[in-house]
Amino acid sequence: MEPPRPTLPEPPRDASEPRPAEFGPPPPPLDPEEDERRASFFRRRIAPLGAALIALLTKLKTVLLFLGQFKLLVTAGSMAVSLVAYASIWGWTFALGFVVLLLVHELGHVIALRREGIPASAPMFIPFLGAVVSARSLGDDALAEARVGLAGPVLGSIGAGACLLAWRLTGHDYWRALGFTGLFLNLFNLLPVVPLDGGRAMAAMSPWMWCVGFAATVALAVAFPNPVIIIIAIVAALETWRRLRARRSGDPDAAAYYRVSPRGRALVALTYLGLVALLVLGMHATHLHRTL
């Protein structure tokens, strides 16, 4: 039996020779007008849709970045939870007004932080504890911290004053009670102890007043036992100790932080004492005895 003979490759075919039948006839050349019609259809129909889709995705990305930066969804959700919590005590109408007053107060801090060039989150509400604003710092020095701290009670007092104006115009005690509560809320925040707003002001006025504020907070916790007061007293103890220890450490950065000009200290003192006086007088003038 003979071995199989090797098959030799076929010689290259000349391109001018006709193609074998098994490959079929060559495809017809494309019509230039057909190409133009296809390109025109793409430009008229497909391209605008793609551009619109890209624009939509860009806007959606912008909206998501906006929401992520200011945490509006967190703010709205925490407001809703706080509204339900306060409504269980005071009813929906008063709870809504109280939450709005908290929002106005915190927006004062947000505005002041952004004026200092510091990015700040939108307020996040904590039921029965108020609301907070997060930021990487409160300013470059104690004077900036005082401005940020006092901005909340300033704008919050304006909000309470708007409620009292509505009371004068309508004569409805709802606005009177809401305004009185707003005044008390801002006056309480002016206690000279960190982390309250009054403690921020003391950073520029007289940091040693933190000890006085802490003693007053402890006295309130003993006289009127309340979870909120107790939490504030605990946080105040830790924060006051940390700050006073930093001031006594001889750190030049800490010394520079609390170095405030006499003019700046006088402006902070005038704002602080003026706010306290106005809020006390306003509460005295609008006090309303609760009736069951």
Return the pLDDT at 156: 96
Torsion angles phi and psi, residue 190, rounded to 5:
-90, 10
Distance CA 112, CA 194 (A): 18
The number of distinct structural domains making up the chain is 1
Distance CA 87, CA 98 (A): 10
Determine if the pTM surpasses 0.75: no
Alpha helices in 91-141 (DSSP H): 92-115
Chain segment 109-134, per-residue pLDDT in tens: 999 999 999 988 888 898 888 888 88
Neighbours of 95 (CB within 10 A): 18
Has residue 229 been placed in a domain?
yes
Distance CA 97, CA 178 (A): 7
Return the pLDDT at 32: 58
Return the pLDDT at 225: 85
Positive or negative, the CA dihedral 81, 125, 273, 213 is: positive
Neighbours of 112 (CB within 10 A): 25
Return the pLDDT at 153: 96
Return the pLDDT at 11: 52
Has residue 194 been placed in a domain?
yes
- Residue range of the domain that includes 225: 53-286
For residue 135, give the DSSP letter: B
Has residue 2 been placed in a domain?
no
Has residue 1 been placed in a domain?
no
- Residue 191 in contact with residue 125, Cβ under 8 Å? no
Distance CA 161, CA 264 (A): 27
Has residue 12 been placed in a domain?
no
Residues of the chain with pLDDT under 50: 2, 8, 15, 19-24, 42, 53, 56-70, 292
- Determine the Cα angle at 228 with ends 199 and 164, to 5°: 75
Return the pLDDT at 24: 45
Has residue 31 been placed in a domain?
no
Q: Helix, strand, coil: what percent of the chain each, to 5?
A: 70, 5, 25
Return the pLDDT at 60: 43
Has residue 176 been placed in a domain?
yes
Has residue 11 been placed in a domain?
no
Distance of CA 229 to the CA centre of its chain: 25
Number of H helices, E strands in the chain: 11, 2
Tokens of 271: 């704002």
* Amino acid at site 240: T
2: left (phi over 0), alpha (psi -120 to 50) or beta: beta
Return the pLDDT at 275: 96
| DSSP string for residues in 12-79 | PPPTTSPPPGGG-SPPPPPPHHHHHHHHHHIIIIIHHHHHHHHHHHHHHHHHHHHHHHHTHHHHHHHH
- Residue 123 in contact with residue 70, Cβ under 8 Å? no
Q: Which residues of 270-282 are buried (b: 16+ CB within 10 A; e: fewer)?
A: ebbeebbeebeeb
